[in-house]
């Protein structure tokens, strides 16, 4: 639907469409992939093995949504994962739908009692899926659950966070959050101060892994299609909490995530064309999120970011250091991208037409 401000949003799904009286399958595991054929193969192979470890009476299905990958990902899934064992259902899209809309497509046809979202570059540790399902069974107030994410080297990745705010964004954009990672004040957003081995109630968890309760989605709605990439999990978790459910972080559910999460702080380098596109997506989503949930504060968020880029440019433009002059050029590019995002979203009021 379109609200009066022009911001596109989803109506909450009706209970009849998402919640049923009985389920033959315990979990529907949804993997959205774009151009990750080899990683996707590794993910699905690992996922099938993990499903064989489920306790007796607990069953799973796997749904793969291919977002128009030109690398043959969809054909690989059809050729290599259509045999016996845990069923793998393939949903093909001719275009890149983005993260949220692709997941919505799978959720609408999924048969499981619980919905498990997993990145194609993510892999369960042994028994992690069973533990996540057990947590959901034991805690009816949990609408969304998140895992402890680690890299291939075992290093912890922030996966359970607090909602954005002007102050928290300022600490991230200025680098204070990364400079003081143990500070509850400066690093509140990413919770890098928290002990990752301790369960917690949090504001939102990353979509690299999340498990969803159907009853929560029936009240909160599915992913908002206004968000192509970035902020879609934040928006969904916010609506789930508004619907009366909790967002939980479970450290005993461990998932290896190869690429970690995309940082909101840009490193000191001139952005490539692809990197610029990703930054633009992040900026668009930031403006859409702030307009949707904070109204006029979207202007504060925009002015904060523009101001910091302008200061970076002024500070570095005449420096004798080549690295600092490059930071000045990068700041100009970021200012241009932010102004483009503001224009294309009309200050966060509308989502640009697909494809982004």
Q: Is residue 126 part of a domain?
A: yes
Nearest C-alpha neighbor of 60 from the set 124, 16, 142 = 124
Of all residues in the chain, what percent carry a pLDDT higher than 70? 90
Of all residues in the chain, what percent carry a pLDDT higher than 90? 84
Q: Are residues 49 and 113 in the same domain?
A: yes
Q: Are residues 249 and 158 in the same domain?
A: yes
Could you read off the pLDDT of 121-165 as tens digits, one per residue?
999 999 999 999 999 999 999 999 999 999 999 999 999 999 999
Q: Return the pLDDT at 273.
A: 63
Could you read off the pLDDT of 42-67 as tens digits, one per residue?
999 999 999 999 999 999 999 999 99
Both tokens of residue 114? Answer: 């619980």
Q: Return the pLDDT at 17.
A: 76
Cα four-point dihedral sign 119, 132, 114, 50: positive
Tell me: pLDDT of 9 over 60: no
Q: Return the pLDDT at 263.
A: 33
Q: How many domains does the chain have?
A: 2
Report residue 276's pLDDT band, with 50, 70 and 90 as the boundaries: confident
Determine the angle formed by the axes of helices 37-52 and 128-138, rounding to 10 degrees: 60
Tell me: pLDDT of 265 over 80: no
Average model confidence (pLDDT) for the chain?
90
R_g (Cα) of the chain, nearest Å: 21
Q: Are residues 283 and 246 in the same domain?
A: no
Tell me: pLDDT of 271 over 60: no
Q: Is residue 352 part of a domain?
A: no
Nearest C-alpha neighbor of 233 from the set 255, 199, 261, 195 = 261
**33-47, 95-109, 187-201, 265-279: the lowest-pLDDT one:** 265-279
Residue 267: burial class (beta carbons within 10 Å; 0-12, 13-18, 19+): exposed
CATH code, domain with 136: 3.90.550.10
Cα distances from 82 to residues 44, 107, 302, in angstroms, run: 11, 20, 48
Cβ atoms of residues 102 and 67 within 8 Å:
yes
Q: Which residues contact 263 (CB under 8 A, 6 or more apart)?
A: none
Q: Are residues 82 and 227 in the same domain?
A: yes
Report residue 40's pLDDT band, with 50, 70 and 90 as the boundaries: very high
Q: Return the pLDDT at 347.
A: 96
Tell me: pLDDT of 183 over 60: yes
How far apart CA 101 and CA 98 sit, in angstroms, is 6
Tell me: pLDDT of 114 over 80: yes
Could you read off the pLDDT of 196-250 as tens digits, one per residue?
999 999 999 999 999 999 999 999 999 999 999 899 999 999 999 999 999 999 9
Q: Are residues 179 and 328 in the same domain?
A: no
Q: Are residues 86 and 184 in the same domain?
A: yes
Q: Is residue 49 part of a domain?
A: yes
Of 224, 257, 290, which residue is a domain's last?
Answer: 257
How far apart CA 328 and CA 313 sit, in angstroms, is 4
Domain of residue 102 covers: 15-257
Report field, pTM of the whole predicted structure over 0.85: yes
pLDDT (mean) for 95-112: 95
Q: Are residues 114 and 219 in the same domain?
A: yes
Q: Are residues 112 and 194 in the same domain?
A: yes
Q: Is residue 1 part of a domain?
A: no
Nearest C-alpha neighbor of 142 from the set 48, 75, 56, 205 = 205
Tell me: pLDDT of 300 over 80: yes
How far apart CA 334 and CA 342 sit, in angstroms, is 12
84 or 251: whose pLDDT is higher? 251
């Amino acid at each position: 639907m379109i609200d009066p401000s022009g911001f596109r949003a989803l109506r909450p799904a009706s209970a009849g469409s998402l919640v049923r009286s009985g389920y033959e399958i315990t979990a529907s595991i949804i993997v959205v992939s774009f151009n990750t054929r080899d990683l996707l193969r590794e993910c699905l192979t690992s996922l099938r093995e993990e499903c064989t470890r489920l306790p007796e009476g607990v069953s799973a299905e796997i749904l793969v949504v291919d977002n128009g990958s030109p690398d043959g990902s969809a054909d690989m899934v059809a050729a290599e994962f259509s045999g016996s064992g845990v069923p793998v259902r393939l949903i093909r899209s001719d275009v890149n739908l983005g993260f949220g809309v692709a997941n919505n497509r799978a959720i609408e046809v999924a048969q499981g009692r619980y919905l498990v979202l997993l990145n194609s570059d993510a892999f369960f540790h042994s028994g992690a899926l069973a533990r996540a399902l057990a947590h959901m069974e034991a805690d009816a107030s949990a609408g969304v659950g998140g895992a402890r994410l680690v890299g291939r080297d075992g290093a912890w990745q922030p996966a359970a966070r607090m909602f954005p705010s002007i102050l928290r964004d300022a600490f991230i954009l200025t680098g204070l959050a990364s400079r003081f990672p143990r500070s509850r004040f400066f690093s509140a957003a990413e919770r890098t101060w928290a002990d990752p081995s301790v369960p917690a109630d949090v504001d939102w968890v990353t979509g690299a892994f999340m498990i969803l309760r159907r009853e929560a989605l029936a009240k909160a709605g599915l992913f908002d299609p206004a968000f192509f990439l970035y902020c879609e999990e934040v928006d969904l978790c916010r609506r789930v909490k508004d619907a009366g459910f909790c967002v939980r972080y479970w450290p005993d559910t461990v998932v290896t995530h190869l690429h970690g999460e995309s940082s909101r702080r840009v490193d000191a380098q001139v952005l490539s064309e692809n990197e610029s596109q990703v930054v633009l997506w992040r900026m668009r989503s930031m403006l859409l999120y702030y307009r949707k949930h904070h109204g006029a504060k979207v202007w504060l968020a925009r002015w904060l970011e523009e101001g910091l880029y302008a200061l970076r440019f002024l500070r570095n433009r005449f420096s004798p250091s080549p690295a600092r002059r490059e930071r000045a050029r990068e700041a100009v590019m970021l200012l241009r991208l932010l102004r483009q995002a503001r224009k294309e979203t009309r200050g966060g009021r509308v989502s640009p037409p697909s494809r982004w």
